[in-house]
Structure 1
């Protein structure tokens, strides 16, 4: 069963660039076709591809390759500009927000108890 699933994955990976190039103007990148066809053919929709050890390995490698390609798309000059400052502010807010409830004053009536019935 693993060979059939891997063959279907290889066929989808081979066909996706051709499908993307058939669309005039190329509004959709081929990565989108890979993700959509993988989701449709996967075990949660059509069930054509069955997940086992080999398919799981290919899945992990594909995700790593997707992150690698996304990293190549980042322009280093945009990180140092205004967008980089916005990214730094939003990233640091993720570090501060979990401790925010601890900083709120504690009394006999908390915000949660006044909202709950």
Structure 2
């Protein structure tokens, strides 16, 4: 596994943060956070974004500074990882609960290549 250059990662994240910090205040206000969310493909209402901001704004200044932004990203990753883990665990539970007689033991063989196909056996 390759070593991760944390300094380089932090610079990259700060560059992203700065790209959305339109007024160069070193914080993301509500409109800037909303722009960030939309750029990430997150469909969120203004009220929902305000709620996120209120929850992540530790120093109650009405904006996310870089440290709060990093916490936000960490929490987002943690939630996503947690959901994936829970989904995997639920799938495994359901699979274990399925009687063996209903599980496919030998999958169907692949169909033969079509005539004129590039693939040949």
Greater relative CO (CA pairs within 8 A, separation 6+): 1
Which TM-score applies when normalising by structure 2?
0.25
